[in-house]
């Protein structure tokens, strides 16, 4: 089955700096790669996702890149703000069937210092 590795486990940046979180996946059939943000005491919430037919996607200060050949994808947050502090999860899944469940990485705790 799918296995998703995520690095780093913790990341501390100064406000205004950029933050990068990297993930690798094992199943070449995976074709959907979402990123979730989890704030303290809340459930994970989607912030951006990318599908395998796209190499990069951007939404304001957040961007995701995907390299299908190398089986890795990354989250980039620019101009970080204190409210970006949270745990971020990458995930991967393939179309339907028994492989269709989202498999999550172990999370990255991002701290943005004012």
Partner 1 sequence: DTAVSQTPKYLVTQMGNDKSIKCEQNLGHDTMYWYKQDSKKFLKIMFSYNNKELIINETVPNRFSPKSPDKAHLNLHINSLELGDSAVYFCASSQIRGRTEAFFGQGTRLTVV
Binding site for partner 1 (CB under 8 A): 32, 34, 36, 38, 41-46, 49, 87, 89, 93-96, 98-104, 106-107, 109
CB of 37 to partner 1, least distance (A): 11
CA distances to 21, 27, 78, 104, 107 from 112, rounded to whole Å, are 14, 33, 12, 23, 16
**Residue 15 or 59 with smaller CB distance to partner 1:** 59
Q: Residue 75 Cβ, how far from partner 1 at the closest point, in Å?
A: 16
Task: State the DSSP string of 13-72.
Answer: EETTS-EEEEEEES-TT--EEEEEEE-TTS--EEEEEEETT-SEEEETTEEEEEETTTTE
Q: How far is the CB of 16 from partner 1 (least distance, A)?
A: 26
For partner 1, which is the closer residue by CB, 14 or 98?
Answer: 98
């Amino acid at each position: 089955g799918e296995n998703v590795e995520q690095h780093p486990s913790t990341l501390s940046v100064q406000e205004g700096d950029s933050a990068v979180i990297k993930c690798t996946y094992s199943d070449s059939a995976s074709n959907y790669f979402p990123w979730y943000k989890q704030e303290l005491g809340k459930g994970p919430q989607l912030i951006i996702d990318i599908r395998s037919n796209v190499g990069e996607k951007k939404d304001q200060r957040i961007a995701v890149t995907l390299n299908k050949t190398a089986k890795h994808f990354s989250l980039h947050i620019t101009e970080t703000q204190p409210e970006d502090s949270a745990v971020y999860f990458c995930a991967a899944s393939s179309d339907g069937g028994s492989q269709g469940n989202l498999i999550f990485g172990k999370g990255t705790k991002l701290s943005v210092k004012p």
